[in-house]
């Protein structure tokens, strides 16, 4: 069941953050017999950030969103090409090589740049950080020639483009974490295949919810009559809040 998978994912994340960060807090590529080695590559960062975003949207434990933001900022710091944009495969602090490549081919698994582009877009919508979205737009622009020549070889990057072009949504659920109406509303969102969305949860039992530290726009959102309440937004322009699941889903359908 979903709880079993979520618990397994939490265990993996705990292991990585306990065992696979070097003395400076940077992600390592491998762990063996108690030893970490090799500075992490772009793919290590991008795929872990992707997983952390998914784990937040599964558990709504804010620490996973915090980890994703922190790693994303590290990825920008160590891998971003400040001249032309896009991410190099190797970090600036890695072993010196003649050429630092930027990989964008989506083969058996997506490229680090494709995954990083979608991560930037999703985190931008979750946090309101426009610089993330600007970097994603720059990446889509600089890689556009390669994509137009061979779209089938860049399917994941095209998925990020689809998210950027929209419509895409920000959905905030405000309610009491353990209440059945909150769980029902969140489960209804999970039951629909709506890939171009991000979901945030703001607990009303906390006067100063932790999520507001990372998604400031959620700070003023409140529940209606103490019930689980959905805010469906597009580019932070929101429909009227609703306590009805059918109305929430209709709002999402209206934007597609």
Give the domain CATH number at 251: 3.40.30.10
Please check whether residues 193 and 232 belong to one and the same domain.
yes
For residues 24 and 5, the model is more confident at: 5
Range 76-101 average pLDDT? 87
Identity of the highest mean pLDDT range in 95-99, 162-166, 205-209, 234-238: 162-166
Do residues 147 and 251 both lie within one domain? Answer: no
Distance CA 38, CA 29 (A): 5
What distance, in Å, lies between the first and last C-alpha atoms of the chain?
Answer: 30
In a shared domain, residues 159 and 178: no
**Distance (Å, rounded) from C-alpha 183 to C-alpha 132?**
31
Q: State whether 96 and 26 are in the same domain.
A: yes
Check residue 256 and give its pLDDT: 59
pLDDT at 94 exceeding the cut of 80: no
pLDDT on residue 171: 97
pLDDT of residue 93 exceeding 80, the answer is no
Q: Range of 217's domain?
A: 169-255
Residues 121 and 33 placed together within one structural domain of the fold: yes
Same domain, 136 and 198: no
Averaged pLDDT for residues 68-89: 96
The band of 188, judged by pLDDT with boundaries at 50, 70 and 90, is very high
> What pLDDT score does 255 carry?
62
Based on the fold, state whether residues 141 and 210 are members of the same structural domain: no
Total number of domains constituting the chain: 2
The whole-number pLDDT of residue 25 equals 85
Mean pLDDT of the chain: 93
Domain-terminating residue out of 125, 143, 165: 165
Residue 119 has pLDDT above 80, yes or no: yes
Q: What is the mean pLDDT of residues 87-105?
A: 83
Please say which residue of 150, 165, 180 terminates a domain: 165
Q: Domain boundary at 165, 198, 219, which?
A: 165
Q: What is the pLDDT of residue 133?
A: 96
Whether residues 236 and 207 share a domain: the answer is yes
Give residue 33's pLDDT. Answer: 86
What local confidence, expressed as pLDDT, does residue 166 receive? 86
Residues 204, 187: one domain? yes
What's the pLDDT score for residue 235? Answer: 80
**By mean pLDDT, which of 74-78, 141-145, 192-196 is the weakest?**
192-196
pLDDT at 35 over 70: yes
- In this structure, the answer to whether residues 120 and 234 fall within a common structural domain is no
CB atoms within 10 A of CB 221: 19
Residue 22 has pLDDT above 90, yes or no: no
Average pLDDT over residues 230-243: 90
Whether residues 93 and 125 fall in one domain: yes
Q: Which pLDDT value is given to residue 223? A: 94
* Whether the predicted pLDDT of 236 surpasses 80: no
Q: What is the mean pLDDT of residues 234-256?
A: 86
Residue 20 maps to which CATH number? 1.50.10.20
154 and 176 housed in the same domain: no
């Amino acid at each position: 069941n979903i709880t079993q998978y979520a618990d397994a994912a939490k265990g993996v994340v705990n292991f990585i953050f306990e065992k696979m960060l070097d003395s400076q807090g940077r992600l390592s590529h491998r762990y063996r017999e108690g030893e970490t080695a090799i500075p992490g590559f772009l793919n290590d960062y991008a795929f872990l950030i992707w997983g952390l975003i998914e784990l937040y949207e599964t558990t709504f434990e804010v620490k996973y969103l915090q980890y994703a933001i922190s790693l994303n900022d590290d990825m920008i710091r160590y891998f971003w090409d400040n001249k032309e944009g896009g991410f190099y495969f190797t970090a600036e602090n890695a072993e010196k090589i003649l050429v630092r490549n930027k990989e964008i081919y989506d083969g058996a698994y997506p490229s680090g740049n494709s995954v990083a582009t979608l991560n930037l877009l999703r985190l931008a919508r979750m946090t309101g950080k426009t610089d993330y979205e600007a970097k994603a737009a720059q990446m889509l622009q600089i890689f556009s020639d390669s994509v137009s020549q061979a779209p089938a070889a860049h399917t994941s990057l095209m998925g990020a483009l689809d998210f950027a072009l929209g419509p895409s949504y920000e959905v905030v659920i405000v309610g009491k974490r353990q209440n059945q109406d909150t769980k029902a509303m969140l489960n209804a969102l999970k039951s629909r295949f709506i890939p171009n969305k991000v979901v945030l949860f703001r607990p009303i039992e906390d006067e100063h919810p932790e999520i507001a530290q990372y998604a400031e726009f959620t700070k003023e959102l409140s529940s209606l009559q103490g019930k689980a309440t959905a805010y469906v937004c597009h580019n932070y322009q929101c429909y009227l809040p609703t306590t009805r699941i059918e109305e929430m889903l209709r709002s999402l359908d209206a934007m597609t």
